[in-house]
Structure 1
Amino acid sequence: MFYHFIGRLVILVFLFLTHSVVSYGLHWQKQKADENCVFLKHTFTDDSLETFSLLECQAADGPSNWFSSDIHQSVCNSGQCRMISIRLVWDGFGNYHHFELMDREPLTKTDHAEFSADDYNRLHFILSDSLSVFKDLEMEDLVVEKKNDVDGVSGATRKSLHDYVVQDAVYTCFTLWKVVYGKGKKNINNLLKQRVSQGYLANLLHKNDPIADFWVFNILAGNTQYVSSFVDQLIDRVASKDERNSSLALRVITVGSLSSEAVQKKLADQIPEVNDLKRLDIIWKLLECPAVSDEVVLQLLRYYLQGILNPAALSYAYQLVSARHISNPDIYQTIKEILTDKNQYVKNITNSLLLKKK
């Protein structure tokens, strides 16, 4: 008891000397994020007439810096748990960022035992997982009913969930995760989608931020009328070291936006900057075009001679070559040069190309 009291006293002194709000999760430069910020409050009412409030820090040029919601809620159904007070914070695109304890009130679990530092870190890890097992569960799926109280309800946490929750705090984890990815994220997404315009998307792409890029690319995937306006930026991101953004940017580029030789060439120019798999993806994207310019076909053939494309990529590039292309003297001479390659597979596919196009 004495050591528990001393430990509690140390925590209270620490909180008093720092701040009434303690953050757990990603590094948070709130003061910097709040510069030139307009604060907006949004209130939503669902079908059950429950209200949910969001505070938005909106940058002067339009995009959001962050969203937050103060949650004051009981996380058990027996009436034996006290309310939790916690602030959930999302970035400007609705991705969970971190949580904050408010008014120096700790989170508690069984018999009101307080969360430890490890428990808080684990809760942050749980809330960071958008694909958590909670996604397909309801409240009644969390426990096995029995008589004594565990985590403030009649039942013990299912064994299958032990690795996914803070011990003896399954309802706390579940409730907060559902807020983060339910009414929190959904309402933020709806707010942002209402603001979509060419100018708004341009501002976000100008930030050259991977998180902003990912959000914009997903918006473009569902609003293809804007793609042609941003095709240059999309092509630039194809060579990004961020594989997720690179693949999504290439997938979002539409056939219609690749109609000009200049745009096709810009896409082909990315080939030396990416790995072998992405080179194949770029060639496949060019294969979607009704017609590829002579200049781009010649560029791909020369990439093979320069050792940039491998034989497998060359075989796909050959699918772009038509009889019209072969009638171009520069293309024909380049194909004849490839025909002298020492690789027998390359010789075979090159001979086949010339025969088919006669």
Structure 2
Amino acid sequence: MKLKNLVQKSLFIFLGILYFSGNNPSGKIQYFGVPTLVAPVADTRYFILDFKDDIANDTLWQQISAEGYPLRYTRPIRTGVCFDNKCRPLDVTIHWNPTGRYLGFELPEKEFLSKYDHEPFTAEEYEQLHALLTDQFSPLGSFHYNEIVPQADSTYDKVDAVSGATSANVLEYVVEGAAFTTYKLWNITYGSSQQHVQQLTEKALTPALVQLLLESPDMQDKLWALNHINGFITPDATLRQTLLTYISEKEFTLAERAIKSLNSRDLTDKTLQLEFTKKIFPASYSLKKLLLQKLQEAPALQPEVVQLLRKNLSSFTGESLTTLLDLWAHHAIFDSETRTAVEQLRQHSNPFIAKKAEIFLQKSTRPTTQK
């Protein structure tokens, strides 16, 4: 894959740039995290969008690779932060990865952020702000404006929007002395701008792009990619094989999402269904159950799959065994070999399993249409 090779060759160079923190020879203050995709920018597109916020700029910029894959999204933010009856313009550009994950921010040359007393941020405070913006699960999303900004002082008629008077339960999630600036930037980062970024990437999704997203070093990117397969694209053979590798005990969350990413159409593939079934036997109880339940979505079970399940019947215990019986009953697997195997379960020491086996055998004697 051309882009993948470029990623591998240029990763070290680009990471050196993207991890840059503050001492930029150009005079810009900028902080970046780990990018989802690293490749040369071939073109830049812009989109005029309704962000439904109080920022005047309505343009979102999209940088793309030669293959047309979105690499980064950018939105210039020009607004005001007011305190002590004075307002100072906030001029900052926010960047997102193609999955909507916050990538970083930068300021124009000679521009800087300041606190309530007009004192410029220190390098440590820029780093703190960058770290706070990286946290998509920050409680800042649940705070109301009035919890960030103290009430006006009726004596002096002033509102200190970013001062140390901010309530103690908020201080942990903001740069001290710049509470409103932190709050505003976090809510811009995770508001409608992020939604537009994700929607634009959804329109560009292909099996090859999802494959690249799954190779990101960031867990959020992997989860986003897995959540945007079923209902968005039809996996090709390469992507299907990758999804199978994610179904393991190494990371249950990724395994669960990989299973959900497959649909009934994918499970019609004989090879995929067989390889998918092989994942069941060494799996833990929870994962085994998810795999068996997913096979119920298949239009039909391949004969080789039925044979494999029957051959490994002894690897099923407890609820996973009853889930297997439910799977066979769902697909009307009532052939003589399967019935013989289930017949032995009627004497199982677990009364519940014995009862399920009895119910299965009763169903198998009724007239039915084989799937």
Provide TM-score, normalisation by structure 2.
Answer: 0.72
Residue number among 33, 37, 41 corresponding to 1:37 in the alignment: 41
- Residues in 1 aligned to 2:223 and 2:164: alpha-carbon distance in whole angstroms: 42
Report the equivalent of 1:4.
none
Specify the alignment match of 1:67 in structure 2: 73
Give the Å deviation of 1:62.
Answer: 1.6
Find the residue that maps to 2:322 and give its secondary structure. Answer: helix
1:164-223 Cα deviation digits (max 9, x unpaired):
222221210121112212243133223323434xxx333332564256654444333444
Alignment of 1:1-358 (within 5 A): 18-24=25-31, 26-27=33-34, 33=38, 35-46=39-50, 50-76=56-82, 80-147=86-153, 151-152=160-161, 156-196=165-205, 200-205=206-211, 208-210=214-216, 213-223=222-232, 226=234, 234-239=243-248, 241-259=250-268, 261-272=270-281, 274-289=283-298, 291-305=300-314, 307=315, 309-322=316-329, 325-329=333-337, 331-332=338-339, 334-335=341-342, 344=350, 348=354, 352=358, 355-356=361-362, 357-358=364-365
C-alpha distance in 1 between matches for 2:103 and 2:335: 58
How far the C-alpha of 1:266 sits from its partner, in A, is 2.7
Residue pair 1:151, 1:168 contacting (<8 A) in 2 also:
no
Q: Which has the higher strand share?
A: 1
- The 2-side partners of 1:226 and 1:107 are apart by 46
Q: Is the 8 A contact 2:80 2:87 kept in 1?
A: yes
Q: Secondary structure of 1:295's match?
A: helix
Are the counterparts in 2 of residues 43 and 51 from structure 1 also a CA contact under 8 Å?
no
Q: Which has the higher helix share?
A: 1
RMSD: 3.9
Aligned residue in 1 for 2:14: none
Alpha-carbon distance in 1 for matches of 2:43, 2:357:
67
Paired amino acid for 1:328: S
- The answer (yes or no) to whether the contact 2:83–2:159 under 8 Å persists in 1 is no
Letter aligned with residue 21 of structure 1 = K
Question: 1:76·1:152 contact (CA, 8 Å) conserved in 2?
Answer: yes
Q: 1:19 to 1:50 in 2, by over 3 A?
A: closer
Please state whether the residue corresponding to 2:67 is helix, strand or coil.
coil
Aligned mates of 1:142, 1:207 — CA distance in 2: 36
Distance in 2 (alpha carbons) for counterparts of 1:175 and 1:75: 9
Aligned-partner residue type, residue 189 of structure 1: Q
Q: Which runs of 5+ in 1 are unaligned?
A: 1-13
Cα gap change, 1:160/1:222 in structure 2, threshold over 3 Å: closer, same or farther?
farther
Q: Structure 2 stretches of 5 or more lacking a match? A: 1-20, 366-371
Cα distance in 1 for residues equivalent to 2:144 and 2:352: 58
CA displacement, residues 77-109 of structure 1 (integer Å, 9 cap, x when unaligned): 665243334332211222102223442544211
Q: Is the 8 A contact 2:210 2:225 kept in 1?
A: yes
Query: What CA distance in whole angstroms lies between the structure 1 residues aligned with 2:236 and 2:43?
Result: 34
Deviation at 1:300, TM superposition (A): 2.6
1:145 CA displacement: 0.8
* CA distance in 2: counterparts of 1:195 and 1:15, whole angstroms: 33
Give the partner amino acid of 2:201.
L
Closer, same or farther in 2 for the Cα pair 1:83/1:272, shift >3 Å?
A: farther
Q: How many residues get paired?
A: 334
- Please say if residues 85 and 159 of structure 2, whose CA atoms lie closer than 8 Å, have aligned partners that are also in contact: no
Instruction: From the superposition, tell whether residues 56 and 133 of structure 1 become closer, same or farther in structure 2 (CA, over 3 Å).
Output: same
